[in-house]
Homo-oligomer: A and B are copies of this chain.
């Protein structure tokens, strides 16, 4: 029986979390507002707010408008009571942010990555992260954690099991960073943190079930189901890039055949462009051509859009999500993809599932993953607060 038993301390933690949550959501509001909002007694709210003020998470910011009686004392969350580091480890770059507890970016930094062996990457990563930590202002909680997104499979213990594009196998990144910095470190797949980033700060704000499709050289996905990131039994789910859409299609390096990413990724686009002799082997060159009105290039994007739609129709049928968000590099091709993509999805998905669904593109662009990584660390901090 692992279930934690209920006692008074639990109640207090729960109610404190509820009060903190209302301050986070409701921005400037008074103790009376919180009481009305939550149903908690005014006295209870007063007491819990005092605790939060003492801990530094909440502060009073003067009085508000009277509505016929004593003026309310307005409260707000102290975003600068702590900081978090978010890192997006790419195949040839590292991007990092230092954010406050509301996700406000204090420092942002990018570095090149030309070597990819675990040791070399760690040699770059360590001072990179340290420099972000060093820039954090004095605060009540200090730097509360480090979140990292990596292009590969990550197990529950934060070890990178397999990252083909980095050439990594079984790299215990979380352990290493944990030892180096002595603060909580969370490692997750790039698509998973991207999903978290878009849901918290981007186009998926407030959405309960959302599938984030990271379309870069491959296709990765992050599944947010019932407001939570879904991970499979072993911690790695959502390899929708390797969902086969042509059972008898060409073999994929994963062992399967006709995988979605063979048809709908940046890689697929570049291969097709090369076959047709268009562009210079880069997404940028193709985007420029499409921009200039080149019909052949636009047809190419159109085809990718259709293939995206085929996979999205599957996703919609399987998950019946509120939204599908397309992110990563290919989101820049939105103008040339969107119509074919939406059209194909609508033609193929089940009618009932399409009701009210939203097909969106990432708002944060190439920052979905860093921001999500930071948010991961912030969320873990709040979770720790709630349970202690």
Contacts and interface: CB of A to CB of B under 8 A. Distances in A.
A59 interface: no
Contacts of A318: 237-240, 243, 318
A239 B320 CA distance: 9
A355 B161 CA distance: 13
Nearest to A231: B320
A15 interface: yes
Given A1-B22, A6-B11, A230 B240 contact: no
Contacts of A161: 352
A233 B6 CA distance: 32
A256 B3 contact: no
Contacts of A113: none
The contact size tier of chain A is: 35 or more
Contact of A317 (B37, B230, B243, B350): B243
Contacts of A356: 233-234
Nearest to A18: B3
Q: Assembly of this chain: how many copies?
A: 2
A233 B255 contact: no
Given A3-B21, A245-B244, A353 B239 contact: yes
A272 interface: no
A14 interface: yes
A235 B242 CA distance: 26
A247 B348 CA distance: 10
Contact of A353 (B22, B232, B244): B232
Interface in A206-264: 208-209, 225-226, 230-240, 242-248, 254-258, 263
Interface in A282-330: 307, 310, 313-314, 317-322
A161 B22 CA distance: 37
The winner among A12, A38, A209, A232 for most chain B CB atoms within 10 A is A232
Nearest to A263: B247
Contacts of A347: 255
28 contacts: A1-B21, A3-B21, A5-B14, A5-B38, A6-B10, A8-B11, A153-B352, A162-B352, A208-B233, A209-B232, A209-B233, A233-B320, A233-B321, A233-B356, A234-B352, A234-B355, A236-B353, A237-B320, A239-B317, A240-B317, A242-B317, A242-B350, A244-B310, A244-B314, A247-B258, A247-B310, A256-B313, A256-B349
